[in-house]
Chain A
Amino acid sequence: MSDAKFFAKGKAAELRMELKSDKKDKNFARRKTTLKRIVANMTMNNNEMVQLFSDILECMHLNSLEIKKMCFLYLINYCRVKPDLANKALPILLADIKDQSPLIRALALRTMSCVPLATYTQAIVDPLHKLLGDSDPYVRKTAAFGVAKLWAADSRLAEKSGLIEGVNQLLVDDNPTVVSAGLAALTDITDKSEGMKLAIGYQDASKLIKILPDCNEWSQTFILNALMSYTPQDPAEALLMAERLSPRLAHSNAAVILGTIKVILYLTHYVSDDAAIDMLVRRFGPPLITLLSKPYEIQYVALRNCFLILQQYPHILQSNVKVFFCKYNDPIYVKVAKLEIIFLLASEENMPEILRELREYASEIDVQFVRKAVRAIGKLAIKIEGSARDCIDTLLDLVATRVSYIVQEATVVIKNIFRKYPNRYESIIAVLCRNLDSLDEPEAKAAMVWIIGQYAGRIENSDELLDDFLFSFKEEAVEVQLALLTATVKLFVQRPAKGQELVLQVLKWATEETDNPDLRDRGYMYWRLLSSASGNPEITREVVMSDRPAVTVESDRLDEKTLEEMTLNIGSLVSIYMRSANQIFKGSKSKHLEPSPALRKAYSYGPTEDQQMNVDASSLMEQGEDDDTAAAFAGPNAFAAHGDLLSDE
């Protein structure tokens, strides 16, 4: 049976002839074929088909499921265009709702609830009441969804009708599919409703978990989602629920796996026994690894959520870091997500293999990925002091390739290493100075200038190096100009004789010849400092060379509330973008932990909390990476940086 010939020239008149023909039509075969042509034309937006409405009404009476299906599709499609004719179909549907076949009852009911006409909305209330108690489960589940649709069309009518209580009754149905359909309908309604909220008690939750294995995979995702509305009142109760949910982690549907993880993580907030929590979360490891064999899109979602879970519980996969190693043929979004996890799981023990791996990525073809790999190496030096030397050696090895973008990226991260470990590893400076020519990006230039200024006292020809950079001062980006200004002042403070001439020149440019207010302000600030404190160089030195806030990738962590919100939204966009729900969605209900006697103080758990809440602070510092003044401005941007560990910003 082929539909292709159907749209050729489906003229309405011709199709009408076919439908009305008096010829013999055994089992309605001819009319079925004609209806298929009509549906095909309708799908292709052939608006001529709307003329056939009355002919379709006649076919609706035929006692064939297939014909009814097609007629009802037609009705739903054109009811808005021809409401009068659509209303004529209403008696047929109401009759079908009393049909002895459950499939036809369900079909008629579903069709009615899909027609957005007030007459239909009014007429469906009574049948819904009846069919919620139908003998056939297929009909009951259809009725549950019918109530949700009615509520969406006319919430006041639905609430007044008492139908919502009727759906509530379905939650104690014998049939798991009906229970989950009832739950789906209630969730749908309460999600959109201002006043109503889904609340599930212990008995209900326990029953839902019991029927979970008997439900199909989609019902399982729905029930899991609904279980987030259950608030445990007792730690033992929460633990028991989490234990009973654990077998769902062995499902083949990735949505079920992640949904289960979400509920178990949620329940751990109400469990008091740390060892038990540890047992629970350790079970997440293997299924998360299994998700990495799924299609790339699913892998990506899994990896982003994995990152979130590992922030809190890195130990569950710390010994498996290799499974996150990238293959060259992974798409870039998967590679970057894996790289972030590798960074997160790095420790002194696994550092040698991680560094070898990152070194490998740095020789790949994709420039974007290479840069992120180099950046990651630099950040590891800051994150894990014991491995800093190895990281730096790897970076130097990379600088030796003389590939311009690698050298620039390395320069940027090495600057941060100097900030973290002042006055160590200074031998690197010589290597960097040999590669000044390959710097053409503002960020890299500014980084190099900062290094020269900071170590002006120790770099033999620091004045010459700065002079070289100053040659193109007026063409530079503001970021570089600011860095040059500060570096020149530092040179002057440390080596007055060599810096005097340069500093006068730069201050003149900055105060007299620039249009940029930041540069001018800073120029004036130095100008006054140098002229007023001229009697006391020590004070000037103290101000200019003062200690800056320490660079760290650990000190700043997602604040408790944010991390809590993220984990309550595992699997949704919130957890993938790592942005708060109200930043992403308009007017969505934000999730939070409901208070109960069993609720732990949020996020007090964690074996080595201090080391393991790794959220990058350095990426936010890099935004205004103007070390000497900007630290205070990082505040408002703090959120943007979360999760973008290796961002280029």
Chain B
Amino acid sequence: MSILALYITDINGQQLFEYPIADYCPTNKSIQVALRDCSPEDVILRLSTNELVFHKKQDALFFLVPCTATIPALVPLEFISHLIKVLHDYFQPPLTRQKIEKNFSTIMMLLNEMIEDGYPFVTEENALRDLVPYSDSISKYLKGATSSIKNLTSSTTSMQAISSADIGNPRSNVPWRRSNVKHNNNELYVDIHESLSVIIPALSPAQKMMNAIAADSNPSASAFYTVASTVPQVLPEPIVSIAHGSVYATTRLSGIPDIQIILSFGNRVLEGPAFHPCVRLARWRDHPGTLSFVPPDGKCCLLQYTISGVESGPIGGDLKIGLGASKDEFEVRIWSRVPKNVKFAENLRVELVYDGDRVQTIKGIRASSGEFNIEQKGTGIWRFPGKTPMGWSATLRGTMIVNEDLEPGEDGTVPQEFPKFIKISYDCMGMLVSGTKVESLKITSGKQGLMENAKPYKGVKYMTKGTDIVIRG
């Protein structure tokens, strides 16, 4: 079970970078031929009886990893994710053709460390920073560190220190932390992000009719005259509402600091928490909510969790169809709820999804605010640049024009088309939809590495990202 090679290509399959591992490995050319015949369902491509190709598109690049067929599928898939993370860390996202070409030898050396004998080996950014210095690094704090390592690697005397640190020698006992970390400004930040995924079902036909009547008779609900308090009469309960949370620590602390973060999740149940290797699992088991760890230098994801049955978030919406005199209009409405320690949401956008084969265009679009554009076949996007205040609402009305060449049904007419779904997305700083909180944050030991009477700066930030709020029509 091994990885045979790694190719990076552009969108058209043009090879930008190759890293052959096995003596005889499939070429990019043969992979491209196979890719051309594959359907989107082929997450894993069979190249021959004993060779598979795993592929992933990232930014404007394709990562192709041919492997022997017996490999556990998640190994190459996770490896590609890790590689992309490392490349982002070294060269900043988004990855481009230029960045790859500019950094051939660095990527080469990175892969030399990341893969050993055809199997992923070291993929922690911190360990790699020790092994493969990169002088173009933008972040100031790393610049100091990498140059010192360069000196180390060219003088042979202190190399012992590095080599034992980077592969987890029990003497250092912190395999994920770079050696000899020194910072002038000591800082510790905790960021908790929750991405919210909600499915709100369609109303029953009876409810739809009630809402349509109400919308047509209520002048305040028509476009251009929106009133903040207008929310629909009947709001269906979400069938799925899940928050996927990630707790990140960004530490720039000298020495080997030991940190403790206590989280409270209210009465919520954490489903399947997944931890960074630095977190002491026993401590969590005995004191649920307590993260105790020696962090890697820089940013890392300490904990990922899932909580189901959360609130549906600060932004709500609904979709009504069959409005207007000829019952052919639709109306999308979105609103932000009454503020709860939050002032605004950002990057709010609403996607309208409809049957692009049946709908020619949308006419008579009236939006009370924001901008609406049809971006691709079957998808229109309604954007709200800048900040969206709380306790606000907006509506969008329009009519879908059905393709003329569609065959009429039995009654001689072509049925009117409406949006099938709307999808809302936004970022909302300062709150977590599950109500998760950091109760305390302290550096319990290892302060001796810090400067005399240095007080590390500490900060906590919350953000809820509405990523997948789907409202069915």
In the assembled complex, the CB of B88 is this many whole angstroms from the nearest CB of chain A, namely 14
In the assembled complex, the CB of B422 is this many whole angstroms from the nearest CB of chain A, namely 10
Contact indicator A217/B420 (Cβ below 8 Å): no
Contact with A along B143-166 (1 / 0, CB 8 A): 000000000011010011011101
- Set of chain A residues within 8 Å of B69, measured between Cβ atoms: 573, 584-585, 588
Does B437 have its Cβ within 8 Å of any Cβ on chain A? no
**In B389-440, which residues have CB < 8 Å from any A CB?**
409-410, 420-421, 423
Contact indicator B410/A571 (Cβ below 8 Å): no
In the assembled complex, the CB of B311 is this many whole angstroms from the nearest CB of chain A, namely 16
Does B224 have its Cβ within 8 Å of any Cβ on chain A? no
State whether A286 and B271 are in contact (beta carbons under 8 Å apart), knowing that A148-B117, A293-B306, A573-B73 are contacts in the complex: yes
Using CB atoms, name the residue of chain A closest to B276: A252
Contact with B along A347-370 (1 / 0, CB 8 A): 000000100110010011100000
Q: Residue A297 contacts which of B56, B70, B123, B202 (CB distance < 8 angstroms)?
A: B56
- CA A5 to CA B409, docked complex, whole Å: 64
State whether A184 and B160 are in contact (beta carbons under 8 Å apart), knowing that A4-B101, A363-B420 are contacts in the complex: no
Known contacts A73-B112, A325-B199, A573-B52, then 11 further A-B pairs from the complex at CB < 8 Å, ordered by chain A residue? A141-B167, A175-B168, A175-B170, A250-B281, A298-B78, A322-B239, A322-B308, A360-B201, A363-B420, A364-B420, A572-B72
Contact indicator B274/A287 (Cβ below 8 Å): yes
- CA A137 to CA B74, docked complex, whole Å: 28
Contact with A along B341-361 (1 / 0, CB 8 A): 000000000000111110000
Contact indicator A225/B239 (Cβ below 8 Å): no
Does B37 have its Cβ within 8 Å of any Cβ on chain A? no
Using CB atoms, name the residue of chain B closest to A76: B20
Does A327 have its Cβ within 8 Å of any Cβ on chain B? yes
Does B81 have its Cβ within 8 Å of any Cβ on chain A? yes
State whether A43 and B72 are in contact (beta carbons under 8 Å apart), knowing that A3-B103, A327-B199, A360-B472 are contacts in the complex: no
| Closest 10 A/B residue pairs (Cβ) | A286-B272, A290-B272, A255-B74, A571-B72, A145-B117, A293-B244, A252-B274, A101-B156, A333-B41, A138-B163
Does A301 have its Cβ within 8 Å of any Cβ on chain B? yes
In the assembled complex, the CB of A49 is this many whole angstroms from the nearest CB of chain B, namely 13
State whether A250 and B154 are in contact (beta carbons under 8 Å apart), knowing that A255-B72, A573-B69 are contacts in the complex: no
- Set of chain A residues within 8 Å of B41, measured between Cβ atoms: 332-333, 336
Does A453 have its Cβ within 8 Å of any Cβ on chain B? no
Does A36 have its Cβ within 8 Å of any Cβ on chain B? yes
Contact indicator B159/A4 (Cβ below 8 Å): no
In the assembled complex, the CB of B178 is this many whole angstroms from the nearest CB of chain A, namely 15
In the assembled complex, the CB of A188 is this many whole angstroms from the nearest CB of chain B, namely 7
Contact indicator A571/B274 (Cβ below 8 Å): no
Contact indicator B77/A301 (Cβ below 8 Å): yes
- CA A289 to CA B305, docked complex, whole Å: 10
Does B2 have its Cβ within 8 Å of any Cβ on chain A? yes
Does A459 have its Cβ within 8 Å of any Cβ on chain B? no
Contact indicator B124/A222 (Cβ below 8 Å): no
Q: Residue B70 contacts which of A191, A257, A300, A365 (CB distance < 8 angstroms)?
A: A191
- Set of chain B residues within 8 Å of A36, measured between Cβ atoms: 104-105
Contact with A along B48-63 (1 / 0, CB 8 A): 0110101010000000
- Set of chain B residues within 8 Å of A288, measured between Cβ atoms: 272
Does A278 have its Cβ within 8 Å of any Cβ on chain B? no
**In B350-396, which residues have CB < 8 Å from any A CB?**
353-357, 378
Q: Residue B470 contacts which of A40, A328, A333, A336 (CB distance < 8 angstroms)?
A: A328
Using CB atoms, name the residue of chain A closest to B80: A297
- CA A573 to CA B72, docked complex, whole Å: 7
**In B225-259, which residues have CB < 8 Å from any A CB?**
239-240, 242, 244
Contact with A along B99-126 (1 / 0, CB 8 A): 0011111001100100011011111100
- Set of chain B residues within 8 Å of A512, measured between Cβ atoms: none
Contact indicator A329/B468 (Cβ below 8 Å): yes
State whether A289 and B272 are in contact (beta carbons under 8 Å apart), knowing that A1-B135, A145-B116, A174-B170 are contacts in the complex: yes
- Set of chain A residues within 8 Å of B78, measured between Cβ atoms: 217, 253-255, 298
Q: Residue B308 contacts which of A102, A116, A323 (CB distance < 8 angstroms)?
A: A323
- CA A216 to CA B304, docked complex, whole Å: 18
Does A237 have its Cβ within 8 Å of any Cβ on chain B? no
**In A283-308, which residues have CB < 8 Å from any B CB?**
285-290, 293, 295-298, 300-302
Contact indicator B167/A138 (Cβ below 8 Å): yes
Does A274 have its Cβ within 8 Å of any Cβ on chain B? no
State whether A221 and B75 are in contact (beta carbons under 8 Å apart), knowing that A40-B105, A252-B274 are contacts in the complex: yes
- Set of chain B residues within 8 Å of A217, measured between Cβ atoms: 78, 123, 277
State whether A325 and B72 are in contact (beta carbons under 8 Å apart), knowing that A177-B168, A216-B277 are contacts in the complex: no
- Set of chain B residues within 8 Å of A185, measured between Cβ atoms: 117
Contact indicator B199/A184 (Cβ below 8 Å): no
Does A69 have its Cβ within 8 Å of any Cβ on chain B? yes
Contact with A along B193-212 (1 / 0, CB 8 A): 00101010110000000000
The B contact surface, by secondary structure, is mixed
- Set of chain B residues within 8 Å of A103, measured between Cβ atoms: 153, 159, 162-163
- Set of chain A residues within 8 Å of B112, measured between Cβ atoms: 69, 73
Binding site for A on B (CB under 8 A): 1-2, 17-18, 23, 40-41, 43-44, 49-50, 52, 54, 56, 69-75, 77-78, 81, 98, 101-105, 108-109, 112, 116-117, 119-124, 135-136, 153-154, 156, 159-160, 162-164, 166-170, 175, 195, 197, 199, 201-202, 239-240, 242, 244, 271-277, 281, 285, 301, 304-306, 308, 353-357, 378, 409-410, 420-421, 423, 468, 470, 472
Q: Residue B281 contacts which of A139, A222, A247, A588 (CB distance < 8 angstroms)?
A: A247
- Set of chain B residues within 8 Å of A27, measured between Cβ atoms: 154
State whether A70 and B105 are in contact (beta carbons under 8 Å apart), knowing that A218-B120, A293-B306, A573-B69 are contacts in the complex: yes
Instruction: Choose, from A11-19, A59-67, A199-207, the stretch at the interface.
Output: A59-67
Using CB atoms, name the residue of chain A closest to B42: A333
Does A214 have its Cβ within 8 Å of any Cβ on chain B? yes
- Set of chain A residues within 8 Å of B135, measured between Cβ atoms: 1
State whether A39 and B239 are in contact (beta carbons under 8 Å apart), knowing that A253-B78, A328-B421 are contacts in the complex: no
- Set of chain B residues within 8 Å of A104, measured between Cβ atoms: 156, 159
In the assembled complex, the CB of A244 is this many whole angstroms from the nearest CB of chain B, namely 12
Residue of B1, B54, B472 most packed against chain A (CB within 10 A) = B1
- Set of chain B residues within 8 Å of A356, measured between Cβ atoms: 201
Give the number of chain A interface residues (Cβ < 8 Å). Answer: 105
- CA A329 to CA B74, docked complex, whole Å: 23
Contact indicator A325/B44 (Cβ below 8 Å): no
- CA A353 to CA B239, docked complex, whole Å: 9
Contact indicator A218/B272 (Cβ below 8 Å): no
- Set of chain A residues within 8 Å of B101, measured between Cβ atoms: 3-4, 7
Contact indicator B70/A298 (Cβ below 8 Å): no
Contact indicator A39/B77 (Cβ below 8 Å): no
In the assembled complex, the CB of A245 is this many whole angstroms from the nearest CB of chain B, namely 13
Q: Residue A251 contacts which of B75, B244, B274 (CB distance < 8 angstroms)?
A: B274
- Set of chain A residues within 8 Å of B357, measured between Cβ atoms: 365
State whether A402 and B409 are in contact (beta carbons under 8 Å apart), knowing that A39-B104, A145-B116, A255-B78 are contacts in the complex: yes
- Set of chain B residues within 8 Å of A99, measured between Cβ atoms: 156
Contact indicator B160/A259 (Cβ below 8 Å): no
Residue of B104, B117, B420 most packed against chain A (CB within 10 A) = B117
- CA A333 to CA B43, docked complex, whole Å: 8
- Set of chain A residues within 8 Å of B121, measured between Cβ atoms: 216, 218
State whether A63 and B470 are in contact (beta carbons under 8 Å apart), knowing that A191-B1, A301-B77, A360-B202 are contacts in the complex: no
28 A-B pairs with C-beta separation under 8 A? A39-B108, A43-B104, A106-B163, A136-B163, A137-B167, A138-B166, A142-B116, A149-B117, A174-B170, A216-B168, A250-B272, A250-B275, A259-B72, A289-B306, A290-B271, A290-B273, A290-B274, A297-B56, A300-B43, A301-B74, A328-B421, A333-B43, A360-B201, A365-B420, A573-B52, A573-B69, A576-B73, A588-B70
In the assembled complex, the CB of B220 is this many whole angstroms from the nearest CB of chain A, namely 31
- CA A585 to CA B1, docked complex, whole Å: 12
Does A176 have its Cβ within 8 Å of any Cβ on chain B? yes
State whether A295 and B272 are in contact (beta carbons under 8 Å apart), knowing that A3-B103, A64-B154 are contacts in the complex: no
- Set of chain B residues within 8 Å of A43, measured between Cβ atoms: 17-18, 104, 108
